[in-house]
Chain A
Amino acid sequence: MDVIYILWLRQMKRYVRSRSRMLGAIGQPILFLLALGYGIGAVYKKAGEGNYLEFLVPGIIIQTILFSGVFWGIQILFDKRFGFLKEMLVAPVSRLRVLLGNALGGATISLVQGLFVFVISVGLGFRPHEWALLPVALLIVVALSLALTSFGAGIASMVEDFQGFQGINNFLIFPLFFLSSALYPLTSAPTVLRVLSSANPLSYAVDGLRYTLIGQTHFGLLKDAIVIVVTLVVSVYFAVNRFNRIQA
């Protein structure tokens, strides 16, 4: 058994055994889907924009991955506090493999959470417009999961305490989510919002997923793909770089 596999397995075991965490992480997106999808849906339709639930599903899948990905990446902070990080760092294995095992574990969990939300959406009546594009959608989701867990791991390597963790949630994760195209179409958004959202890599992931699932796009799939790949590379580089520095 390899180091990366056993550390991945550790994350999976923790996830599967903690049912409350599992349900909690899915409860929030469902709430968003129901409250926004049905609450705002009627107004959205009246405004002549079409089916809001359909528009919302890709955004909520990305939201799920955002919260779960960063959260599981930040597990490294918990490992720091509760000591297990030392066990991993003092072992005769490279930092890169330790990081990969942890990040891949977190990414897998985020992916599973995203898939749950997709299945629930289908249960609520959501239908992808082109089933053949689903593999592309999956690819986008996989890349984003890995990018966000890496990002979380990089942040966790820099932060020392849980107060820092709260700050990240409030000043980074929520803005990233609300200033993306997850909840509203950019075409009709005010200029400031449109500019900010266009600078947010998450918007491109939402856009790419929206294209593959419901056939709507703002930036075009090529642009989306480029931004997603660049984001992934930068996040992984950031994580490796920061994780390597943990030791004084």
Chain B
Amino acid sequence: MPKSSKPIIVAKDVVKTFGKIEAVRGISFEVKPGEIFAFLGPNGAGKSTTISMLTTMLRPTSGKLVLNGHDVTHEQDSARKSFGIVFQDPALEEELTAYENMQIHAVLYSVDKAEQAERIENLMRLVDLWDRRKSYVKTYSGGMRRRLEIARGLLHHPKVLFLDEPTLGLDTQTRNLLWDYVKKLSDNEGMTIFFTTHYLDEAEAVAGRIAIIDHGKIIATGTTKQLTKQTSTRTLEQAYLQLTGKEVRDETSLSNDGLNVRNALRNSRLK
């Protein structure tokens, strides 16, 4: 991608507060078309809250988010058509078959009917699930579900694919396989990939650029090389630890998504 191309994701001074808790405290960044961009940070840093805002599940308290030229808050439906998402927790209908899950998605996103069957087949072949298309999702393993969700997220030709901690709880083989698909997508279709993770090796191996986020703020952005140079360290891990400190974080994340936020709020009030 030429350097002059307009950014496909723009975040400007984005703030999200839940009551008194400031989950995201004024973050700004840009992602160019075709980039693989990683949000790296400890638990509770604001990664998922940011993804929830980018994907219209949460409304920012203030600031501006633009996706594929559409204001995420004001042009919700156009923004929604521009991205595919793989949530942190599976969002599949387990009592239907994999193929039926794909069909529902196609209708929800008004995928052209003539193209639908072929598109579903191609994507399910891409993630090696075509032979299991007639199986109920409840019989799928965690890795298979994740792959199905990736295929589903791509069904409507999104410009951007969001992956929220996509490899959480998966074994090494499945993780590698999953990142192979993602890199293939980026290489072949020039798709923009935005993912969150707290695994340093993943961010380093997969992402072109990395934003390190902590306490609701982006503390550094750049390639692994730039980040190590900036901190005068040798590895990404050293750079990361120097930037974020060594203390262990509170394990409870503030919000995985819009639906859990109310729980978080209620719990915080109870305390």
Contact = CB atoms under 8 A, between A and B. Distances in A.
A2 B55 CA distance: 23
A83 to B, nearest CB: 4
A7 B105 CA distance: 10
Interface in A60-88: 80, 82-88
A25 to B, nearest CB: 16
A6 B92 contact: no
Contact of B58 (A5, A10, A84, A248): A248
A234 interface: no
B58 A83 contact: no
Contact of B96 (A5, A14, A92, A247): A14
A13 B107 contact: no
A160 to B, nearest CB: 6
A248 B18 CA distance: 9
Contacts of A14: 95-96
A1 interface: yes
B32 interface: no
Interface in B58-78: 58-59, 76-78
B92 A84 contact: yes
Interface residues of A, number: 28
B165 interface: no
A91 B80 contact: yes
Contacts of A166: none
Nearest to B113: A1
A6 B107 contact: yes
Interface in B246-263: 257-259, 261-263
B55 A84 contact: no
B80 A92 contact: yes
Given A83-B92, A248-B59, A13 B261 contact: no
B85 interface: yes
User: For this complex, into which size category does the number of interface residues on chain B fall?
Assistant: 35 or more
A17 B134 CA distance: 14
Interface string B204-238: 00000000000000000000000000000000000
Nearest to A17: B95
B98 to A, nearest CB: 14
B80 A90 contact: yes
Contacts of A89: 57, 258
Given A17-B95, A90-B56, A90-B85, A80 B109 contact: no
B259 A90 contact: no
28 contacts: A1-B107, A3-B107, A3-B108, A6-B108, A7-B104, A10-B96, A13-B95, A13-B100, A14-B95, A17-B95, A82-B94, A84-B91, A84-B92, A86-B57, A86-B87, A87-B92, A87-B93, A87-B108, A88-B108, A89-B258, A91-B80, A91-B109, A92-B77, A92-B108, A92-B110, A247-B258, A248-B58, A248-B59
Interface of A: 1-3, 5-7, 10, 13-14, 17-18, 80, 82-93, 160, 246-248
